[in-house]
Chains A and B, each alone.
Chain A
Amino acid sequence: QSALTQPASVSGSLGQSITISCTGTNSDLGGYNFVSWYQQHPGKAPKLIIFDVSNRASGVPDRFSASKSGNTASLTLSGLQPEDEADYYCSSYRSSGTRVFGGGTKVTVL
């Protein structure tokens, strides 16, 4: 079961915007809207930030937004803050009756 494809790292300056991509196939991202994004700080459990492609979880700032086009989902962080420095993972339902995660993207705030 191959993982969804994410860039290993993305960086941006304080206050700027960055976008993290997540690429799958018609059998997962492209075929369903059960796509979520998670933020994980070092030594901590992951935290849900986006569910059902573009819905922010409770308490998540509106600086976080997400979308999907074809087989690619995207997470945008606007107005980068120091606390946004973390690992980010996408996830999707897959038609084989499983769930798959992306490999993760390390976000660095310069």
Chain B
Amino acid sequence: EVHLLESGGGLVQPGGSLGLSCAASGFAFSSFDMTWVRQAPGKGLEWVSSISFSGASTYYADSVKGRFTISRDNSNKTVQLHMSSLRVDDTAIYYCVTGGVVVDPSTWGQGTLVTVSS
């Protein structure tokens, strides 16, 4: 069974940094593109970033470009999202999802809450 477990969420001040991690199991991780999607409280889904199966290609939403960095470690079956220069409007549940920009995102983790507040 495909399982994704996000970690690293928490409270951070505006302008600060935070790193999220997603541990994958139950599928051939190194063959799958991976994606982060976020959902602000009471709001809709927003695509954040995707990374190709090899890690060679990365993609970002305009709202996070230059501030967030996605990476992956295929040997440890993890995908990371490093977030810097965080803003109040980055507050959201961040979901790790299998799939990428082209391939429809499919399996979702349970999410990790990031709160940016002073």
Residues of A within 8 A of B (CB): 1, 3, 34-36, 38, 40, 45-48, 51-52, 57, 89, 91, 93, 97-104
Q: From residue B110, how far is it (CB to closest CB) to chain A in Å?
A: 5
Say yes or no: is B14 at the interface (Cβ < 8 Å to chain A): no
Q: Judge whether A1 and B107 touch: CB under 8 Å.
A: no
* Partner-binding segment picked from B15-23, B72-80, B81-89, B98-106: B98-106
- Are A91 and B47 touching (Cβ within 8 A)? yes
Q: How far is the CB of A97 from chain B (nearest CB, A)?
A: 6
Given A45-B110, A45-B111, A46-B95, A101:B104 Cβ within 8 A: no
Known: A1-B61, A1-B62, A93-B101. A98 touches B107 (CB 8 A): no
In this complex, what residue of A is CB-closest to B101? A99
For the complex of A and B, the 9 pairs showing the least CB-CB separation, nearest first, are A36-B104, A104-B44, A51-B104, A99-B47, A45-B108, A101-B45, A48-B106, A103-B44, A99-B101
| Residues of chain B whose beta carbon lies under 8 Å from any beta carbon of chain A | 35, 37, 44-47, 50, 59-63, 95, 100-111
- Is B44 in contact with A102, judged by CB distance below 8 angstroms? yes
Bound-complex Cα distance A51 to B100 (A): 13
Contacts of A34 in B (CB 8 A): 102-104
- Which chain B residues lie closer than 8 Å to A1 at the CB level? 61-63
Shortest beta-carbon distance from B1 to chain A in Å: 12
**Contact flag A89-B44 (CB < 8 Å), given A45-B95, A97-B101, A99-B35:** yes
Give the docked Cα–Cα distance between A109 and B6 (Å).
32
B45 touches A52 (CB 8 A): no
23 contacts between A and B (CB under 8 A): A1-B61, A3-B44, A34-B103, A34-B104, A40-B45, A45-B108, A46-B45, A46-B108, A47-B108, A48-B105, A51-B106, A52-B104, A91-B104, A97-B59, A98-B47, A98-B61, A99-B35, A99-B47, A99-B101, A100-B47, A101-B37, A101-B44, A101-B46
